[in-house]
Homo-oligomer: A and B are copies of this chain.
Amino acid sequence: MTEMQNPYLMFLGDVGDQLGAKTAQGIVDWRPEWCLGQMRLEGCKADLGIKDISIEDSIKSGAKTMVIGIVNSGGYLPSHWTSKIIDAMEAGLDIASGLHIRLSDIPEIKEAAARTGRKLFDVRHPDQEISVGKGIRRTGKRLLAVGTDCSVGKMYTALAVEKEMKARGMDVGFCATGQTGIFIAGQGISIDAVVADFISGAVELLSPENKPDHWDIIEGQGSLFHPSFAGVSLGLLHGAQADALVLCHEPTRLHMRGTPHQPLPDLQDCMDLNLKTAQLTNPNARFVGISVNTSTLTIEEGDKYLQELATKFNLPCEDAYRTGVASIVDLLQ
């Protein structure tokens, strides 16, 4: 896998609201030292809370890649974005994009990349050769964040575990399986965009054999209980061969995301099915914690909820954002 070079210049274009810059914000939250500044065009309604900077000044500060971590509507690029992207390449920056549209599908951008010798990264579109998964045991240790639903904090939890392990001097890496994670890691594969036959193979490629004490912390996707995406989640689980699983959960959600008719699974049910299926490729798989996004509860309610879960499941239960994941990492060290 080719790695994006950092530091980054964060390009926001004239995105219409803060939510449209969610990916960019995630990068700033987790890799502030890589984000030299933001470039916003007239009318931009988002702000990453970092300094505004020009292409030229970013290069003086060492920028290597301009990151388009925003959502545009309509699936095409406005011409005033295209010209800025070409300016950046001419000034010496690679371009990395999380847009649905491929940079290389835009003739002017493709031509400019060829002319300037700069690289284009379309993180939503896997470009590497992926093989069918084999399920052969690999050395090294692996942790996978799984979920009761989509968007319950799997990436956040995985990054928190990576950070905590790093702080303790453990040998650890983060394996990104979605677009925000890929920008944060500098590499990875958007697992939901690979051809269905290659889901587990892509994860085997992302987390290859490693030293016995090395931990790969693998970002999960979707949920085994989501009627739209469970196939992705199962292939990811089998490819990960996780030794350790962390269940991620959002306790106030009323139904599975995007499917109002679909109830959330019971936590025990969800852990049972994840464990049962994980053991196909790693018989020693076990749950080592539960990570709950308690941001919609008061602190008292959140603490009470975490304590109840810890008692019920006899596992460390944390809010990765609010309380950290030290107790989970304690179990693994």
On A, residues with C-beta under 8 Å from B are: 132-137, 191-197, 199-201, 224-225, 227-236, 238, 258-259, 261-262, 273, 276-277, 280-281
Contact = CB atoms under 8 A, between A and B. Distances in A.
A234 B201 CA distance: 16
Contact of A238 (B132, B135, B191, B227): B227
Q: Most chain-B CB neighbours within 10 Å: which of A132, A228, A238?
A: A228
Given A234-B234, A276-B273, A228 B132 contact: yes
Contacts of A191: 196
Given A197-B228, A200-B230, A231-B234, 7 more contacts: A134-B227, A136-B259, A193-B195, A194-B196, A199-B231, A230-B280, A231-B232
A135 B200 CA distance: 23
Contacts of A227: 133-135, 200, 238, 280-281
A233 B235 CA distance: 10
A222 to B, nearest CB: 9
A135 B193 contact: no
Nearest to A261: B136
Contacts of A133: 227-228
Given A195-B194, A196-B196, A259-B135, A234 B230 contact: yes
11 contacts: A135-B227, A137-B261, A191-B196, A193-B197, A195-B196, A199-B232, A201-B228, A224-B277, A231-B238, A234-B234, A273-B277
Contact of A235 (B137, B200, B231, B273): B231
Contacts of A194: 195-196
Nearest to A262: B135
A229 B197 contact: yes
Q: Most chain-B CB neighbours within 10 Å: which of A132, A191, A197, A234?
A: A197
A34 B238 CA distance: 41
Nearest to A202: B196
B196 A192 contact: yes
